[in-house]
Each structure stands twice: as C-alpha cells, then as structure tokens.
Structure 1
Amino acid sequence: MNLNIYTVKKTIWITSTARKIDFTEIEAATMLLMKWGFDYKISKTIGLENHQFAGTDEERASEFQYAMDHPEIDAIWCARGGYGTVRIIDKLDFSHFKKNPKPIIGYSDVTVLHSHLHTLGLTSIHATMPINIEKNTMEALQSLKMALLGDKLDYKIKSSAENKGGVAQGQLVGGNLSILYSLLGSESSIQTANKILFIEDLDEYLYHIDRMFINLKRNGYFDQLSGLIVGAFTDIKDNTTPYGKTVKEIILDVTSTYNFPIVFDFPAGHIEDNKTLLIGKEVLLTVKKDLSRLEFL
C-alpha cells in the first residue's frame, strides 16, 4: 500500500485501548500536535477508570470503533500501552476501515493492532505515544511528524559488533516481542515469510526472552524470514542464578542456523529515542560492518 494514502490531513483522535490515563498526561502531546498544525479530539477513554483500564472493554472498543469509522478523523493515536488492547480486538469491526484506512499510531501493547492490521493487508505506524512525549528525543518526535506528513523515512545507525551482515528487502512487520508471542495461534498472528521482522521489549527476564524466541522459531517465524531488526530491550532482568546469556547471545543462538541479516541496537522501542517505523511498508535493510541502514521504499 502506498504510504501517501496515510498522509494525515487534519484531525488526530487520542484514545486509550489499554491502561488508564488522565488529561494531564496527554497535554504535552496535544500541544505538540497544535504546533505541528494538526487538530485533535480526545476520546472519552481519557480520564475513564475501570480498575487498571481506561474504561471497560466495551467503552474502549466503542470509542475505537467510532474513531475508525468517523470520516473526519484522519488518524488514531493510542495514548499509552500497558495491557488491554487484546481484550477489545475481537470486538472491533474492520469492514468499513478496510475500505477507508487511516493511520493507527502507537507501540508496545499497540502491537496487537499493528499485527491485526497487517493480517488485513493494512499499514500502521509504530511510534511514540502521548504519555511519552515529554521524554522523547527531538529526533524521535521529528520521525513521527515525518510519518504523519507522508515524508520518506531513512535511518542510518552505527553497526553493533554482534550484527550479522547482509542485505534484505521486504515488508516490515513486528513490534513488542511479548505481544507477538501472545498472539501466536490467533487471527492476529502475523506471517513473516519474505519479510523483515522488528522486535523490542521491556521488563522481561532473560529466560522469558529465550522461551519466546524458541516458540517463535517453533512456529516458523524464522524459516523464510528475510531480515531481523532488534530494537531496545529495556530493563531486562535476570534470576538469582544467572541465565548465562545476554539478549544478543540468546537471539544469535536461536537464529544460528539461518542466514538472514540481523541488526542490533536499532533506536526504537521503550527508549527516549523511539524512532518511528511504518509497519507493513516495504523496506530495504542493509547491514554492513560499520553502518546499518533501514530505508523505507
């Protein structure tokens, strides 16, 4: 799909599909949108509270459905992650949305939406969320603005010593590793053949990461994969008895029998410099000794 169809004209809807959030936590994001020349509307989920969630499942689903179907809402920006998007995904009707798509923006728990949209042949925007705006780097924010305006994204980063060199082209898929793992076997589980997989995660134990990677392998995620992009793995924990491998060592071990290029330390995920990625777009991944590049085609 041509990204130009996703160029945001005017109004961005801010909603929460997961954890509760109040108005003060999205104020910086609304000010930023106005600075960029966009209008915004705030969902009823902002300020709602149902235990840890931003309203009941029905309330969160209803607000999201309204935004998907409303002709004057040009994009949907998820306010924060946490947990809860998977609880509403099967309550949503995408029939109208497939004919009139618009960007859905977010990361972390929003991987549920990215993955489901990808199975429908639609693109989406993996990017920072309103709750993070005050902590993000200017470069991360600029990358989101470029995506909203339909400008081309092209990233060049210093290569990690652990990278596996090579060149690959394909659609970019993926997101949060724990969410991808949790979607296996469901209608929202993605296919990775001839594609470039991006992964990131937060607050996981090393043995959990190994278990998830082994399960992705057993589900065929790597069999015909063209390339792997490893983003930030933040606040990773170990047991009292050390697991014995780093995140990079776990990934290299599980994927050791495959020949696709791997780039580590890509600036995206639960970090301040959370660069924007276009899920479902064709990309060219080039991994060299000194420099790696991700070009959106």
Structure 2
Amino acid sequence: MNLPDYLSKNDKVAIIATARKANKEDLKPAIELLEKWELQPVIGSSIGLEKHQFAGSDKQRAKDLQQQLNDPEIKAIWCAKGGYGTVRILDRIDFSVFKKNPKWIIGYSDVTALHSHINNFEIASLHAQMCLGVATKSEASRETLRKILFGEELNYQFPSSKMNKTGTAEGELVGGNLSVLYSLCGSNSAINTQGKILFIEDLDEYLYHIDRMMQNLKRNGMLEHLAGLVIGGMSDMNDNTIPFGKTAEEIIAETVAEYDYPIAFNFPAGHIEDNQALIFGRNIKLKVTDRGSKLNYLKD
C-alpha cells in the first residue's frame, strides 16, 4: 500500500466540495483549524458554487478535484461536505498524476466512494471528519486527524459490546459508509475485502435497508473472508410501523454470526460527535476482548 507523505508546517491543504454545496463562510472553523496547525488552506473553485443540492455541476466539481490532485503544491485534499454526489464525478477524473504522487484525501460518509476507488490503486486515504461541522465534533476527532496528517503515533481503545466476537486479527483496514459501499458493488470502485479488516458506519437508514445491504455484501462474498470487522456509529435509524424487530447492530451481528473472525462494535467513528480518524489502506492489529477492544497500526 502506498502511503502519502505526511505533512509539514506550511504545507498547503485544498478544501473542495465533491458532493453537496458549501460556502466559504461555513468553512471558517476548518480554515482556522488548519491555520492553527500552521498549514495553508487553499479554497477550491467548487466552494460557493450551487446547482440544486450540488456544489456546481459534475463537470465543475470534477474540475476542482482534478486540479487539486494534479497540483504538486497541494499535499492534502479535505472534502467540505458529504451528502451525495462524489460517485458522479469519479469517472471524469484522470488519476494518473495522483498515482505517481499520492496525497491525503480526507473525508467520510459520501467520500467513501472516493476512498474505495483509490484503495484499488493501492493508495491509502483518511476517513475523518468533513470541514463543515468541525467545531461540533469532539477534540479527539480533531486531534486524531492532526496526528495522522503529521505522522504521529496513534492507537485506539474502545468499549466492549455484548455482540462482539473476541479474538485477534491483522490486516489492511478498508471500508466506510455502508450505504455507499453497497452502492459500489459490481463497479470498478468496489473494494476487495478478502483478508482485510472492514470498517462500516451509517446514518438515517431504515432498519430493513441495513439488513438488505448486509445481505447484499454477504451474497457478494464481501463478508465471508474478512480478517475482522469493526462497526462504528449506526446513528438515527428508522423503523416501519410494523417493527423490523432488531437494531442495526443486531442485524449486523446476525448477518456475520457464522464467521469466526473477531468483531468489534462501538468504534468511535461515523456520524457521531466522536468521529475519530482512520487510515484506510494501513495494516492494523485488532484485538477484541471481553474487557474492550484495541486497534493499533502496524509498522510500515
């Protein structure tokens, strides 16, 4: 796996919108945070554009992403907002320069489409909070992002769950938003999960949708040969008038019950206040015990 260079003081970080619209005023806390870290924020051309819910047209958003990918002075690209739309521009992008000179792609939720796509190039990326709402997230959310960008050591401990499956596993960390991963199945952006540790999270889905997506991943062979499974926030789920009868976590646990790899719920990432950063593409060690779970990055 090709790991982008870590950042140094005065490096430039581009802020762009690959999906929903965002304006510069709303980005002020993120800009101030980058400046606090002695980095130089660069506002992309997609910021402030508007076409219905999108930050301009697909062509405009793709042009901004392409420019930041190709610019050698830009060392990281921080996505402003999720929602929906990143998948619409993937096939417009020429990644040839990026493959030779990778840089950090930062974001989560809808940005999972971009993470998954570039994971197939054997390039690591950063699942972390968006620019918008940065002030509303936990201090750990911001600090884990900073530590990763500057190459500092970072490991995680998180509480146990009665649905955990104990054990230890090592493997490459991949994943992201369950709905987006589901939508990429069958495309050239779908991730290969064999022998890897999969992380999933989601927001505002009907419970039967969670079941449908998990069944789809299972029938596609994406769950059977995992090294391990990590579940983050499953937030603000919806139910029908006639209840589905299980929580999102219970649906996930039931779907993978037959497999022997370790499973850890309660990881602090996703559409929650404590959205801690993860490096997709890095090899990790996952240890799940009755007393809690640990996720540690292995040496490159």
- TM range, smaller chain: over 0.9
Which runs of structure 2 are paired with 1:83-98 in the superposition (5 Å)?
83-98=84-99
SS in 1 for 2:126: strand
SS in 1 for 2:25: helix
Partners in 2 of 1:218 and 1:29 — Cα distance?
Answer: 40
Q: Could you say which residue in structure 2 is the equivalent of 1:141? A: 142
Partners in 2 of 1:61 and 1:152 — Cα distance?
Answer: 34
SS in 2 for 1:45: coil
Partners in 2 of 1:31 and 1:194 — Cα distance?
Answer: 40
Which runs of structure 2 are paired with 1:12-161 in the superposition (5 Å)?
12-161=13-162
SS in 2 for 1:88: helix
Partners in 1 of 2:269 and 2:180 — Cα distance?
Answer: 16
Deviations 1:40-74 (A, max 9, x none): 10011111001110010000000000000001001
| Offset, 1:6 | 2.5
Partners in 2 of 1:26 and 1:72 — Cα distance?
Answer: 21
Deviations 1:147-178 (A, max 9, x none): 11011220011211221101010000000000
Partners in 1 of 2:257 and 2:242 — Cα distance?
Answer: 25
| Offset, 1:187 | 0.3
Q: Could you say which residue in structure 1 is the equivalent of 2:213? A: 212
| Offset, 1:2 | 6.0
SS in 1 for 2:33: helix
Q: Could you say which residue in structure 2 is the equivalent of 1:199? A: 200
Letter paired with 1:106: G
Does structure 1 retain, via aligned residues, the 8 Å contact 2:2–2:122? no
Partners in 2 of 1:193 and 1:179 — Cα distance?
Answer: 18
Partners in 2 of 1:6 and 1:146 — Cα distance?
Answer: 13
SS in 1 for 2:118: helix
Q: Does 1:274 align with 2:275?
A: yes
Partners in 1 of 2:179 and 2:73 — Cα distance?
Answer: 34
Does structure 1 retain, via aligned residues, the 8 Å contact 2:2–2:124? no
Does structure 1 retain, via aligned residues, the 8 Å contact 2:199–2:229? yes
Q: Does 1:173 align with 2:174?
A: yes
Partners in 2 of 1:221 and 1:99 — Cα distance?
Answer: 29
> Normalized against structure 2, the TM-score is what?
0.97
Does structure 1 retain, via aligned residues, the 8 Å contact 2:172–2:196? yes
SS in 1 for 2:132: helix
Letter paired with 1:197: L
Deviates more, 1:197-206 or 1:132-141: 132-141
> Normalized against structure 1, the TM-score is what?
0.98
Q: Does 1:244 align with 2:245?
A: yes
Q: Could you say which residue in structure 1 is the equivalent of 2:7? A: 8
Identity within the alignment, %: 53
Q: Please, which runs of 5 or more residues in structure 1 have no aligned partner?
A: none
Letter paired with 1:242: P
Q: How many positions carry a matched residue from both structures?
A: 296
SS in 1 for 2:285: strand
Cα RMSD (Å): 0.8
Letter paired with 2:125: S
Partners in 1 of 2:250 and 2:199 — Cα distance?
Answer: 17
Partners in 1 of 2:65 and 2:222 — Cα distance?
Answer: 30
Partners in 2 of 1:103 and 1:260 — Cα distance?
Answer: 30
